[in-house]
Chains A and B, each alone.
Chain A
Amino acid sequence: MADKNAAATVAAPVKTSKTQSELGAAMARLRKNKSAMIGLGLFLFLALLAILAPYISPYGYATMNPAEKFQLPSVRHWFGTDEYGRDVFSRILYGGRYSLSVGLLATAFAMCVGVIIGATAGYYGGQIDNIIMRFLDIFQAIPMMLLTIVISAALGSGFDKTIFALAISHVPDFARTLRASIMSMRDMEYIEAAEAIGCGTFRQIVKYILPNSFAPLLVTATMNVANTVLLTASLSYIGLGIQPPTPEWGAMLSAAKGFIRNYPYLLIFPGLFIATTVLGLNMFGDGLRDALDPRLKD
C-alpha cells in the first residue's frame, strides 16, 4: 500500500506503475493456476524439443534406411520407422519446428494487421468503422476452414505461403478484439487527458490504448496459436499447407494415411503431438483469460 502511494506522488509514471501492478497481480493469479502452468509447461517442453531437434534426435529427419522400413516402435526407434525407413521420432522432433513456427508466425502476423485495422475502426468510429466492420462480417461469413483452403489454394503450398494464408484468415479476430477494447476505452478520462495535452491520434493509440488492450489481445493470440496449429495440420493433410517430405505433423499424417490398415502407429504419434501442443496452449489460454479478467473466474 505504501509503495503504491509513493508511486502515485510521482506524476509521470503513475499510469505505468499501476499497469505493472495490475499485470503483476494477474501474473500472480496465473502462477497459482495449476492447469495453466501445466499447459505452459507442456507447450514449452514441446517447443524446447523442437528447438533442440538437431541435438537430441537420434537420426536425421531425412535419413532413409530401406532395410528398416515399417519397423514397429522399439528401443531403437521409439515411434517406429516409416515407409522409407526414416525414424518417426526424429521426424516428429523436426516437425515441431514447422508446426510451432507456422502457428507463432501466422499469429504474430495476423495480430499486427488486425491491430492496425481494429485500431482504425475503433478509434475513428462512424462511417470508417461501419465499412470495416461490414467487410469483416463478409469475411467471417465464410467458415474459417473454407476461407483458409481458398487462400491457401490460391497462394500454393509451402512454409511462407501457409503462414500468410493462415494469417489473413485470422486477422478479423484481432481486429474485433482491439476494436472492442478501444470502444470501451475511447471515452475514458486518461484518453481525454492525452488529447488535452496535445497527443496526436497515433500517439494516443500506440502509447495509451495499445498497452491497455494488451490483456485481451494476449488471450486472443494464445487461442489463435492453438487454432492455427490445428488448421495447419488440416491444410497439410488435404494436400495444401506444408507438403511431404517436409516433416510437418499434418504432412506426416497425410503421408501415412495410406498405411492406416497395416501400420496404424504411423498415424498415432504425429496426431498426439498436435493434440498435446494445442491442449497445452488452450490450458494456458484459459488460465490467462481467468487471470487477466478476475470477474470471469469461477
Chain B
Amino acid sequence: MGRYILKRILWLIPVILGVCIFIFTIMYFVPGDPAALLLGPGATAGEIAVKRKELGLDHSFIIRLLDYMKRVFLHFDFGRSYTTGNVITAELIQRFPKTAVIGFVSMFLAIITGVPLGINAAVKQNGLADRICMMLALVGISVPVFWLAMMMVIVFSLNLRWLPSSGVASWTGYILPCVASSFGGMAGLARQSRSSMLEVIRSDYITTARAKGLSERDVIYRHALPNALIPIITIAGNKLALVFGGSVVIENVFSIPGIGTYMVNAVNNRDYPVVQGSVLFLAVIFAAVMVLVDLVYAYVDPRIKARYIGSQKQKTKKRGERSHG
C-alpha cells in the first residue's frame, strides 16, 4: 500500500513538470512583443531592445523555459505582472484562501449532496423521487454555472435581499458562489452514482444477499454501496475538475478577489505572466487534489491493495527462479 501511495505521489512530479512546459509553450506562441506591450506605444526601438534584454526575452525558447521552471520550482517565483509590476507569487498567496474556500467547499458540497441523491434514486428506481431527481440532475448539467449564479443573485440578493450579491466581506458572501458552482458537479455525480449503483444492484451477488434474507438496508448499505462507490470515485475526479474550473468563472460573477478574478483580469489586460502563473498554480493544486482522490480510491478498492501485494510476490518469485537458473 505504501508503495502505491509513493508511486502516485511521485507521478505528480512529471505531471506538474509537463503542465508547466505545456502552459509555457502555449504562452510562448502568443503573438506580440511583451517588452513593447510593457513600455507602451511611445517607446523607441532602443528602449524595447533594452527591456527585452532585461526580461530575458532575447534568449531562445529552451533557455527561457528552463529559466522559468528554475524560478518557479526552486524559488517559487512566478515573475512580475506586466501591468502592475507586482510580484505574482505574493498576489497568488494573498488571493489563494478565497479561491480555496470556494473551490473546496463547492467540491465538498457536490460530493455530499450528489452521491446520496444518485444512490437514493437508484434504490427507488423509476419511482417518482427517482424521476424528479434525475430530471433535476439533467437540468443541472445543462445550465451554465455562471448564469445559474446570476439567476441566484437576482432571486436571493436583489429580490429577497437575503444574501450579498458580491464580495466576501462576511461569510454569507460565500454561500451563493459555493452553492452555484457546486450545482453542476452535484448533478453530474448524482447521475454517475445512480448508474453505477444500478449496475451493482442488478448483479447476482445482490440477488444472493436478498435470497438469504438480509434486510434491504443491509443489502444496500453493506453489500451494494461499497462496490458502487468505486466507479463513483473514478468519475468524481472528472466532475471535481468541472467544479474547480467553474469556480474560476464564479469568482468573476461575484467580484471575489480570488485567483480566478486575477486570472480573468490578466487575460483581458494581456498580462501573460499572470495568466501563466495563475493557471500553473491552480493546475498544481488540482493535481494534488486528484492524488488525494486516488488515494481514497486505493483505500476503498481492495483490488489495488491486492495488486500491489500480488506484484511483490510475483517479483520475489521471479527473482527466485532467476537465481535458480
Contacts and interface: CB of A to CB of B under 8 A. Distances in A.
Interface string B272-311: 1001100100110011001000000000000000000000
B263 interface: yes
Interface in A244-298: 250, 253, 257, 260-261, 264, 267-268, 271, 274-275, 278-279, 282-283, 286, 296, 298
Nearest to B251: A238
A141 B15 contact: yes
B208 interface: no
A139 B22 contact: yes
Contacts of A144: 241-242, 245
Where chain B touches its partner, the secondary structure class is helix
Interface stretch (A11-19, A54-62, A105-113, A226-234): A226-234
A73 interface: no
Interface in A216-244: 226, 230, 233-234, 237-240
A193 interface: no
Contacts of B267: 149, 153, 238-240
Contact of A279 (B142, B268, B283): B142
A145 interface: yes
Contact of B139 (A268, A271, A275, A286): A275
A257 B254 CA distance: 11
A150 B245 contact: no
Contacts of B19: 138, 141-142
Contacts of B286: 141-143
Contacts of A145: 241-242, 244-246, 248-249
B245 A261 contact: no
A146 interface: yes
Interface in A107-156: 134-135, 137-139, 141-146, 149-151, 153-154, 156
Interface residues on A, range: 35 or more
B139 A279 contact: yes
Interface residues of B, number: 52
Given A153-B275, A239-B264, A143 B242 contact: yes
A236 B153 CA distance: 20
Given A271-B144, A282-B138, A150 B198 contact: no
A267 B279 contact: no
Contacts of B246: 145, 234
Interface in B10-27: 14-15, 18-19, 22-23, 26-27
B168 to A, nearest CB: 18
A79 B45 CA distance: 52
B195 interface: yes
A102 B212 CA distance: 56
A253 B244 CA distance: 21
Interface string B41-60: 00000000000000000000
B154 interface: yes
Contacts of B290: 141
A208 to B, nearest CB: 30
Contacts of A257: 150, 253
Interface centre among B195, B276, B283, B290 (most CB of A within 10 A): B283
Give the residue among A137, A138, A278 with the most B Cβ atoms within 10 A. A138
10 contacts: A139-B22, A142-B286, A143-B242, A144-B242, A145-B246, A149-B264, A150-B279, A264-B158, A275-B142, A278-B144
Given A233-B144, A298-B125, 15 more contacts: A139-B22, A141-B18, A142-B283, A145-B244, A150-B23, A153-B30, A153-B272, A153-B275, A268-B151, A274-B143, A274-B144, A275-B143, A278-B141, A282-B142, A296-B195
